[in-house]
């Protein structure tokens, strides 16, 4: 059951960030990898495929693909296909979204506890954050692999919140996924929805469930900065 919340940034002690599409310019990576899987197997990716898999852990995404598409590969083969190509992309190419580093630095300098809740494995997000110079801002991280549930359930946010030593009412979840924002809000978190082009068609739904909806991280940065002045 969700705790009663003060819907204000001034009441918060921690921030939990999603990675893909929120802090990282990486949703295009996965769109490309999914499309490559189908194209290299002589198929066209189904129209509803991205919505079905984007909130799932990679193993569940592979299982879904085996069950719901005509691809003639095992789940292990599909997962290995994505993993090998994703490792290269996150290690060498994926960059931060504009204002991500400034926002993380602002939060860290003002004593907020900062965590990660992501569908990515540590082998992907840790090298990427280190290469982009922001790994040191995070106190901890949790992957949906660790909790065994996708972001349609709040388990990953609750686990990460516990690692930060906080209650949901003390913590913001920052997400580009309307599915994640909805489950986090129902669990009692302050929710900050961030626009990403990959999920643009669900922007209205995200805005409905978000306490703050931002078209870019710059707006979140200045919202936090202004809230700090009023403390």
Is 228 exposed, middle or buried (CB count within 10 Å of its CB: 0-12, 13-18, 19+)? middle
Other CB atoms within 10 A of residue 216 CB:
13
CA dihedral sign of residues 155, 160, 162, 168: negative
Q: 44: exposed, middle or buried (C-beta count within 10 Å: 0-12, 13-18, 19+)?
A: exposed
Question: In this model, does residue 2 exceed pLDDT 70?
Answer: no
Q: Which residues contact 229 (CB under 8 A, 6 or more apart)?
A: none
Cβ atoms of 190 and 207 within 8 Å: the answer is no
The per-residue pLDDT for range 34-48, each reduced to its tens digit, is 999 999 999 999 988
Give pTM, 2 decimals: 0.85
Rg over alpha carbons for the chain, rounded to the nearest Å, is 17
Q: What's the CA gap between 81 and 53, in Å, rounded?
A: 16
E-strand ranges in the chain read 14-17, 113-118, 140-143, 171-175, 190-194, 212-214
Mean pLDDT of the chain: 92
**pLDDT > 90 in the chain, percent:** 78
What percent of the chain is modeled with pLDDT above 70?
97
* Non-local CB neighbours of 56 within 8 Å, separated by 6+ positions: 64, 119, 144, 150
């Amino acid at each position: 059951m969700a705790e009663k919340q003060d819907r204000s940034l001034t009441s918060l002690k921690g921030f939990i960030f999603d990675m893909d599409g929120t802090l990282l310019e990486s949703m295009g990576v996965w769109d490309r990898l999914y499309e490559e899987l189908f194209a290299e197997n002589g198929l066209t990716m189904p129209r509803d495929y991205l919505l079905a898999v984007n909130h799932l852990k990679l193993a569940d995404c592979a299982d879904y693909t085996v069950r719901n598409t005509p691809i003639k590969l095992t789940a292990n083969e599909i997962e290995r296909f994505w993993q090998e190509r994703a490792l290269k992309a996150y290690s060498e190419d994926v960059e931060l979204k504009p204002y991500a580093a400034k926002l993380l630095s602002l939060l860290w300098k003002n004593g907020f506890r900062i965590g990660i809740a992501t569908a990515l494995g540590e082998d992907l997000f840790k090298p990427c954050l280190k290469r982009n110079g922001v790994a040191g801002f995070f106190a901890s991280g949790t992957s949906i692999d660790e909790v065994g549930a996708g972001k349609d359930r709040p388990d990953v946010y609750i686990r990460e919140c516990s690692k930060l030593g906080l209650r949901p009412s003390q913590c913001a979840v920052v997400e580009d996924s309307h599915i994640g924002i909805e489950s986090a809000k129902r669990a009692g978190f302050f929710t900050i929805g961030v626009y990403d082009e990959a999920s643009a068609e669900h922007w209205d739904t995200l805005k409905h469930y978000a306490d703050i909806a931002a078209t870019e991280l710059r707006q979140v940065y200045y919202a936090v900065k202004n809230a700090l002045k009023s403390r």
